[in-house]
Amino acid sequence: MTNNKYLEPGARSAELYERARAVMPGGNTRTTVYSAPYPAYVASASGATVTDVEGQTRLDFVNNYTALIHGHAHPRILDAVSRQLTLGTAVSFPTETEVRLAELLVDRVDSIERLRFTNSGTEAVMMAVQAARAFTGRQKVARFEGCYHGAYDYAEDVLLPFNQPEADGRILAEHLGELAAVLVDPLPHRPGFIDPIAGFLPRLREITRELGIVLISDEIISFRLGYAGPQERYGYQADLTTLGKIIGGGFPVGAFGGRAEIMNTFDPSRSGSHLTHGGTFNGNPVTMVAGYESMAMLTPAEFDRLAALGDRVRVGLANIIEARGLSWQVTGQASLFKLHGHPRKLVDYRSSLMTEAERSAVEKFYMAMLGEGFILTPDLCGAVSTPMTAQNIDDMIAAADRVFAT
Q: How far is the CB of 193 from ligand PLP (least distance, A)?
A: 11
Distance of CA 44 to the CA centre of its chain: 22
> Which residues in the 205-234 window bind ligand PLP by CB under 6 A?
218, 220-221
Name the residue nearer to ligand PLP (CB basis): 60 or 218: 218
CB 67 within 8 A of CB 26: no
Instruction: Look at residues 385, 346, 306 and name the one whose alpha carbon lies nearest to residue 190.
Output: 346
User: Quick one: which of 169, 244, 283, 332 contacts ligand PLP (CB under 6 A)?
Assistant: 244
> Which residues in the 251-280 window bind ligand PLP by CB under 6 A?
254
Name the residue nearer to ligand PLP (CB basis): 30 or 83: 30
Contact pattern from residue 142 through residue 161 relative to ligand PLP, giving x for each residue in contact according to CB under 6 A and a dash for the rest: ------xxxx----------
Name the residue nearer to ligand PLP (CB basis): 148 or 154: 148
Q: How many CA within 13 A on the CB side of residue 289?
A: 20
Q: How far is the CB of 127 from ligand PLP (least distance, A)?
A: 12
User: Quick one: which of 4, 122, 241, 331 contacts ligand PLP (CB under 6 A)?
Assistant: 122
Name the residue nearer to ligand PLP (CB basis): 98 or 185: 185
Name the residue nearer to ligand PLP (CB basis): 186 or 316: 186
Whether 148 is a known active-site residue: answer: yes
Instruction: Look at residues 341, 337, 340, 338 and name the one whose alpha carbon lies nearest to residue 308.
Output: 337
Name the residue nearer to ligand PLP (CB basis): 371 or 382: 382
Residue 263 identity (one-letter amino acid):
M
Bond from prior residue into 37 cis (ω within 30 degrees of 0): yes
> Which residues in the 7-66 window bind ligand PLP by CB under 6 A?
65
Distance in angstroms (rounded) separating the CA atoms of residues 242 and 72: 24
Q: Which stretch binds ligand PLP (CB under 6 A): 52-60, 117-125, 295-303, 309-317?
A: 117-125
Whether 338 is a known active-site residue: answer: no
Q: Where are the alpha helices (H) located in 51-192, listed in sequence order? A: 63-66, 75-87, 96-108, 121-136, 165-174
Strands (DSSP E) found in 121-275: 140-144, 158-160, 179-184, 214-218, 240-244, 254-258
CB 113 within 8 A of CB 263: yes
Name the residue nearer to ligand PLP (CB basis): 7 or 228: 228
What is the total residue count of the chain?
A: 406
User: What's the alpha-carbon Rg for the chain, to the nearest Å?
Assistant: 22
Distance in angstroms (rounded) separating the CA atoms of residues 48 and 384: 9
Does 189 contact ligand PLP by CB under 6 A? yes
Whether 348 is a known active-site residue: answer: no
Q: Which of 245, 338, 348, 349 is catalytic?
A: 245
Q: Which stretch binds ligand PLP (CB under 6 A): 115-123, 138-146, 270-278, 371-379?
A: 115-123
**Neighbour count for residue 23 (Cβ, 10 Å):** 8
Q: Which of 34, 41, 148, 227 is catalytic?
A: 148
Reduced to 3 states (helix: H, G, I; strand: E, B; else coil), residue 404 is: helix
Residue 16 identity (one-letter amino acid):
L
Q: Which residue number places its CB atom closest to ligand PLP?
A: 121
CB 297 within 8 A of CB 386: yes
User: Quick one: which of 185, 239, 293, 372 contacts ligand PLP (CB under 6 A)?
Assistant: 185
Does 125 contact ligand PLP by CB under 6 A? yes
Does 386 contact ligand PLP by CB under 6 A? no
Distance in angstroms (rounded) separating the CA atoms of residues 121 and 101: 16
**Through-space distance between the first and last CA atoms of the chain, rounded to whole angstroms:** 10
Number of chain positions touching ligand PLP (CB under 6 A): 16
Catalytically active residues, by annotation: 148, 218, 245
- Site residues (CB under 6 A) for ligand PLP? 65, 120-122, 125, 148-151, 185, 189, 218, 220-221, 244, 254
